Amino acid sequence: MNYIKFVKEQMALIADRDPAMRSKWEVFLYPSFRAMLAYKRSHKLYLKGKYFRARLISQRAARRTGIEIHPGAEIGEGFFVDHGHGVVIGETTVIGKNVTLYQGVTLGGTGKEKGKRHPTIGDNVMISAGAKILGSFTIGENSKIGAGSVVLKPVPPNSTVVGVPGHIVKRNNIRIPYMDLNQTDLPDPVQSEMDQLRESLNELKKEKI
């Protein structure tokens, strides 16, 4: 790994995605920079079969930065974690190019299954604070995952997902009918189900009368 090249790339990357950056030297203070530096070292060791040393480096980085990246994960260029605390990236996760994560994001599995058990994240995806993506499926390129969402199934490219469990509310820049996305009135699938049950009960009561 060319350290100077990596530093320059991170300077440009963070300056582009974080308006709070005032000096290029602030890159050395960013948890994302330190976590990715450790990841690159641990990933090389992991690929050589030196698993203990790889995990030792990754766990030290996790304690120092709050970002836990398993050395077995595959991460593309242009990856950035804003703030970063509480981020967890599982062993078989595959992340494409120009992906941005915010604090509290989990890219995890759903149990103790073997093989590919973590998500694949396409290029140019943004995953907002506190979102959980659990399982071995793909988040399509150019998609956005809303804050606090829990995604348990594949997401097509160019989609926006919100809610628990996650629902697609926009695809190819077109809103899905009967669902809308804003920062104050997010879709509530649980409430929708309750409303439908209430309507069904009212209809049953009318029939009895």
Give me the pLDDT at residue 168, please: 82
CA distance 54 to 42: 4
CB atoms within 10 A of CB 33: 22
Q: What is the pLDDT along the chain (209 residues), one digit of tens a residue?
A: 577 888 888 888 888 887 788 887 888 888 888 999 999 999 999 999 999 999 999 999 999 999 999 999 999 988 999 887 899 999 999 999 999 999 999 999 887 777 899 999 999 999 999 999 999 999 999 999 999 999 999 999 999 999 888 888 877 766 655 444 343 445 555 666 778 888 888 888 777 66
**Which amino acid, residue 152?**
L
What DSSP letter does each residue of 152-192 carry, written as one string?
A: -S-B-TTEEEETTTTEEEEETTEEPTT----SSS---HHHH
118 flagged as catalytic: no
Give the C-alpha separation, 122 to 18, whole Å: 21
Single pTM value for the model: 0.76
CATH class of 3-177: mainly beta
* Residue with the two structure tokens 């790889």: 54
Alpha helices (H) in 48-188, listed in sequence order: 51-65
Strands 167-171 and 159-162: antiparallel
Catalytically annotated residue among 43, 85, 118, 167: 85
CA dihedral (6, 12, 18, 23) positive or negative: positive
Place of tokens 């703030």: 83
Question: Any residues with CB less than 8 A from the CB of 130 and at least 6 apart, and which?
Answer: 102, 103, 104, 105, 147, 148
